[in-house]
Structure 1
């Protein structure tokens, strides 16, 4: 397997990379029935769409507000009129689970003396809850949110937060994401990038490709 040299810091995207977005709706498969998967996919796609639109319009709201608004859209799209169900879904999002391999992977990186950080579109409170619920706080050296800038990834100023935080060259930083649009943004900024392609998605038709594609975070220590 191809390896990257001189990496001192691994920066992770949060949702979809460390934290399993689908774990939220999986708790309510019985209530959602056949629409569970399309409901989850629509909620996520609208969440991203609304964050990008707000960036383009210079109308920032934090990611929790965007998450609730996109949930409202999904509920309306599937004609679900149940405020109690909405509240439960939002509570489940607050207690989102990490992927099974995350604690072990982070632990291995720590053992090798690598720094680990999170760079996310999520608000600080969302990240705090997700990290605490997943019990990975002891493995993360720093957690950076776009909330300080009031603009969302993949805007280049977001990735610059890492360069401002750490006195490292870009070639000493590995950015890790399962989101192909995030991969393109980080690569465009100049980071080494690993794409965690868990679901065998097609590559984006963009001029910024990842350096290494992996199927799981479990494989990450093997490339460093």
Structure 2
């Protein structure tokens, strides 16, 4: 089935959030993977807690705070690499299949966008670094409404701006909680289960589960 728009989560879906640490693995040492996993987990946790409190802070602030916590939890990691890792986060690697998938969808005539918790500056830097600029029609950041996913107002950014019904949008995310929120909003959802995680939020199932974006139907 063809959709009017294909909208993608950014971090973990288009961009590999662990590539920042992996790029400097030799300097970080054997606990680099643990550091990266804690960094990501706390980054997301902080966004959820901020949402529940009604106390917004932009995603870059949360990214910095999460890394500081990760360093505290992993004392073997060299804290002097803090600035290096934060700089690398602005230029995360995209997954190998992403450029070709986006080009194919763009060639099919659909509109393409990112919808992310990331701040506008973070997203623009990542998109430019991965040379995805020409494939995207828009970058929607939660910063414009100061609310994080899974608030329904986040998903409404797309439908309001593009004057679409939710079921005209195919939404792709590697985060199952994000898929649950988008499904409840009414998007057609594709869970990109890169890590082979068990399903959850069974009352809000995705329409499709894929191991990567490479298998995404392209019209």
2:133 to 129, 133, 137: 137
Cα distance in 1 for residues equivalent to 2:9 and 2:170: 11
**Paired residue for 1:219?**
215
- Following superposition, the deviation at residue 206 of structure 1 comes to 3.9
**Paired residue for 1:13?**
9
Question: Does the aligned pair in 2 maintain the 1:121–1:145 contact within 8 Å?
Answer: yes
**Paired residue for 2:62?**
66
Normalised to the residue count of structure 1, the TM-score between the two structures is: 0.94
- Following superposition, the deviation at residue 30 of structure 1 comes to 1.3
- Following superposition, the deviation at residue 51 of structure 1 comes to 0.6
**Paired residue for 1:97?**
93
Structure 2 SS opposite 1:113: coil
**Alignment length (residue pairs):** 219
- Following superposition, the deviation at residue 103 of structure 1 comes to 0.5
Cα distance in 2 for residues equivalent to 1:208 and 1:150: 25
2:31 to 35, 46, 49: 35
- Following superposition, the deviation at residue 31 of structure 1 comes to 2.2
Is structure 2 residue 149 aligned with structure 1 residue 148? no
- Following superposition, the deviation at residue 221 of structure 1 comes to 3.1
Deviations 1:108-164 (A, max 9, x none): 001111110110000000001000000000000000000011110011110010111
Gap regions ≥5 residues in structure 1: none
Question: Does the aligned pair in 1 maintain the 2:50–2:56 contact within 8 Å?
Answer: yes
Cα distance in 2 for residues equivalent to 1:46 and 1:134: 25
Normalised to the residue count of structure 2, the TM-score between the two structures is: 0.96
Cα distance in 2 for residues equivalent to 1:110 and 1:149: 27
Question: Does the aligned pair in 2 maintain the 1:18–1:98 contact within 8 Å?
Answer: yes
- Following superposition, the deviation at residue 38 of structure 1 comes to 1.4
Cα distance in 1 for residues equivalent to 2:201 and 2:91: 34
Gap regions ≥5 residues in structure 2: none
- Following superposition, the deviation at residue 82 of structure 1 comes to 4.7
Is structure 2 residue 160 aligned with structure 1 residue 173? no
